[in-house]
């Protein structure tokens, strides 16, 4: 269990008891041993078979419990992620929280018209610039799936755009090993070489197994590539409660955890000690609308459960925030606030999908600015407060005495900034001042700020020679992949 300093008062939250953790863990082991997983990658099946797994027809593999336990132990409990310049940016360990964007949103709310349209490459650039500015956003991702570039090149274009428009770590996707290798070469070019990238990775690849209980050829191919290169990979399943898993939360968690653990087994058998970020996402299916519900309480119960599981395993984990709202309204702020607070209290390490709208289908750079302030608020809350002689302030209370005022005391001057959080955009004006300033809503404020960021913020540029090398890599990729059919 987590430990705190005796003088610290911090909010803490656990969903599962040790007994419940063990029950879910044993249920996942039983699924892998008795039911098995489908592995569509022949080399992976051979690797598993050579490690005492039983392979039967239809590519179903049964994994013994001892091998899962051994793989959990071999996965690193700490992963350091750097920025584009090789400076340490995130220490994924314990209950450290880091926040960032998600990938591949099909639609974007246009900043000029407020209309919903298909995403373009400019949206990837805008999200990177805004996130580069926002001090509480720790890593970036594409935030959009551009419709204005060739399909086989979209992830490469996204990676290049992110590398050029922010120094922050990059969380990225790829269609298959083919474009993953190209993105890897781009990252090497940016940080100075293969050795430098392995020693100070600033990229994290995101991929998934296929629910229920399946690993595609393409997913395993990418998993193995990242293991070989020792590039951190985030490989959690994304399951649908009542669709690809049982409708009960316990059954859904047990199955999804089996999928996640089998990914860890594959990854660690390929390269023992290679860095992997795990966990699981179980999203309820609304039986009336047939939509996936990012804002649902069941989603967050699942996140809390797997956080407890992966703290038990001592493996860095991801988590998810987001909203089902299709615009930046009261629902969006409510759901993002609740999700951000819970993910932080869970002690999740890599909290992604900051700013997501529309069940993971819609992006709006304004929501990134809103979430930057939500994260700041949550950070202050989870920081808690101290109870020591200085903070108990007995001498100051005695000095001021009954009927006195503390405002001018040096104790107040010394501590007010650290004790009392100040918002950037939330209203704290009295009604008359608010009216005089134009009666702006919170949405109006954060949109105005977003537009201002895009007008004035200039992310640190890559050296010109590096930019030219990226252009050459992209040109070679166009020649190689424009008509290539991905296997993933």
pLDDT digits (tens, 9 = 90+) for 177-210: 999 999 999 999 999 999 999 999 999 999 999 9
Write down the mean pLDDT value for the chain: 95
Asked whether residue 476 carries a pLDDT value surpassing 80, the answer given is yes
pLDDT in tens, 203-253: 999 999 999 999 999 999 999 999 999 999 999 999 999 999 999 999 999
Predicted pLDDT of residue 460: 97
Class of residue 96 by CB neighbours under 10 A (exposed 0-12, middle 13-18, buried 19+): middle
pLDDT at 444 (0 to 100): 95
Which band of pLDDT confidence, cut at 50, 70 and 90, is reported for residue 314?
A: very high
Query: 483 pLDDT band (50/70/90 cuts)?
Result: confident
Predicted confidence (pLDDT) at residue 1 exceeds the cutoff of 60: no
pLDDT value at position 4?
58
Share of the chain above pLDDT 90, in %: 93
Q: What is the mean pLDDT of residues 3-25?
A: 87
Alpha-carbon separation of residue 239 from 96, 247, 283, 291 (angstroms): 25, 11, 6, 13
pLDDT value of residue 452? 98
Asked if 136 and 376 count as a contact pair (C-beta separation under 8 A), the reply is yes
Summarize the confidence of residues 286-290 as an average pLDDT.
Answer: 87
Is the separation of the CB atoms in 170 and 204 below 8 Å? Answer: yes
Indicate left, alpha or beta for 427 from its phi (over 0: left) and psi (-120 to 50: alpha).
beta
d(C-alpha 132, C-alpha 165), whole Å: 8
Residue 33 pLDDT > 90, yes or no? yes
Residue 3 scores a pLDDT above 70:
no
pLDDT for 7 = 78
CA-CA distances (angstroms) from residue 478 to 164, 174, 177, 178, 329?
A: 19, 15, 16, 12, 40
Domain positions in the chain are 18-72, 76-383, 388-419
Lowest mean pLDDT among 52-61, 232-241, 289-298, 330-339: 289-298
Using the structure block, give the residue that is written with the tokens 């959990």.
72
Residue range 98-156, pLDDT digits in tens: 999 999 999 999 999 999 999 999 999 999 999 999 999 999 999 999 999 999 999 99
Q: Is the dihedral of CA 67, 301, 4, 372 positive or negative?
A: positive
Structure token pair of residue 311: 């703290």
**Averaged pLDDT, 403-420:** 96
pLDDT classification of 292: cutoffs 50, 70, 90 = confident
Q: What is the mean pLDDT of residues 80-109?
A: 97
Whether residue 488 is predicted with pLDDT greater than 70 in this model: the reply is no
pTM: 0.95
Closest CA to 359 of 248, 283, 305, 307: 283
pLDDT of residue 290: 84
Question: Domain spanning 76-383 has what CATH number?
Answer: 3.20.20.480
The percent of residues in the chain predicted with pLDDT above 70, rounded, is: 98
Per residue in 269-280, pLDDT (tens digit) is 999 999 999 998
- Residue 486 pLDDT level (bands cut at 50, 70, 90): low
Which of 128-132, 267-271, 427-431, 483-487 is predicted with the least confidence, judged by mean pLDDT? 483-487
Neighbours of 170 (CB within 10 A): 27
pLDDT tens digits for range 356-367:
999 999 999 999
Cα Rg for the chain, rounded, in angstroms?
Answer: 24
Confidence of residue 487 (pLDDT cuts 50, 70, 90): low
pLDDT for the residue numbered 11: 87
């Amino acid at each position: 269990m987590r430990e705190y300093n005796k003088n610290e008062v911090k909010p803490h939250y656990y969903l599962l008891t040790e007994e419940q953790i063990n029950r879910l863990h044993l249920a996942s082991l039983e699924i892998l041993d008795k039911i098995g997983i489908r592995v569509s990658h022949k080399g992976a099946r051979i690797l598993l078979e050579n490690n005492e797994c039983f392979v039967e027809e239809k590519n179903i593999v049964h994994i013994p419990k001892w091998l899962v336990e051994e793989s959990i132990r071999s996965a690193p409990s700490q992963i350091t992620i750097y920025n584009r310049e090789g400076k340490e940016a995130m220490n994924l360990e314990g209950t450290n929280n880091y926040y960032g964007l998600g990938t591949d949103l099909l639609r974007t709310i246009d900043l000029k018209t407020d209309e919903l349209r298909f995403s373009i490459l400019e949206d990837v650039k805008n999200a990177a610039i805004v996130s580069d500015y926002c001090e509480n956003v720790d890593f970036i991702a594409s935030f959009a799936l551009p419709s204005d570039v060739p399909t086989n090149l979209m992830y490469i274009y996204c990676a290049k755009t992110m590398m050029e428009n922010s120094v922050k770590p990059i969380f990225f996707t790829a269609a298959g090993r083919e474009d993953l290798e190209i993105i890897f070469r781009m990252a090497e070019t940016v940080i100075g070489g293969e050795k430098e990238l392995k020693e100070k990775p600033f990229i994290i690849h995101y991929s998934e197994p296929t629910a229920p209980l399946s690993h595609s050829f393409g997913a395993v191919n990418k998993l193995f590539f990242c293991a070989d290169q020792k590039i951190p990979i985030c490989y959690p399943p994304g399951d649908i409660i009542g669709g690809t898993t049982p409708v009960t939360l316990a059954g859904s968690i047990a199955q999804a955890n089996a999928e996640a653990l089998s990914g860890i087994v594959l990854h660690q058998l390929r390269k023992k000690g290679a860095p992997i970020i795990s966990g699981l996402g179980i999203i309820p299916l609304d039986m009336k609308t047939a939509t996936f519900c990012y804002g649902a309480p069941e989603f967050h119960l699942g996140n809390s459960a797997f956080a407890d599981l992966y703290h038990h395993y001592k493996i860095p984990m991801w988590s998810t925030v987001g909203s089902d709202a299709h615009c930046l309204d009261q629902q969006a702020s409510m759901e993002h606030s609740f999700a951000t607070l819970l993910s932080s209290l869970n002690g999740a390490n890599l909290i992604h999908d900051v700013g997501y709208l529309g069940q993971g289908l819609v992006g709006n750079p304004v929501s990134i600015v809103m979430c930057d302030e939500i994260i700041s608020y949550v950070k202050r809350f989870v920081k808690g407060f101290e109870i020591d002689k200085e903070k108990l302030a007995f001498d100051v209370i005695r000095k001021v005495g009954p009927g006195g005022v503390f405002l001018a005391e040096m104790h107040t001057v010394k501590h007010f900034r650290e004790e009392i959080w100040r918002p950037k955009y939330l209203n704290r004006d009295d009604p008359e001042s608010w009216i005089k300033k134009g009666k702006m809503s919170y949405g109006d404020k954060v949109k105005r700020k977003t537009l201002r960021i895009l007008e004035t913020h200039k992310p640190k540029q890559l050296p010109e020679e590096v930019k030219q090398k990226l252009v050459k890599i992209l040109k070679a990729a166009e020649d190689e992949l424009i008509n290539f059919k991905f296997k993933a």
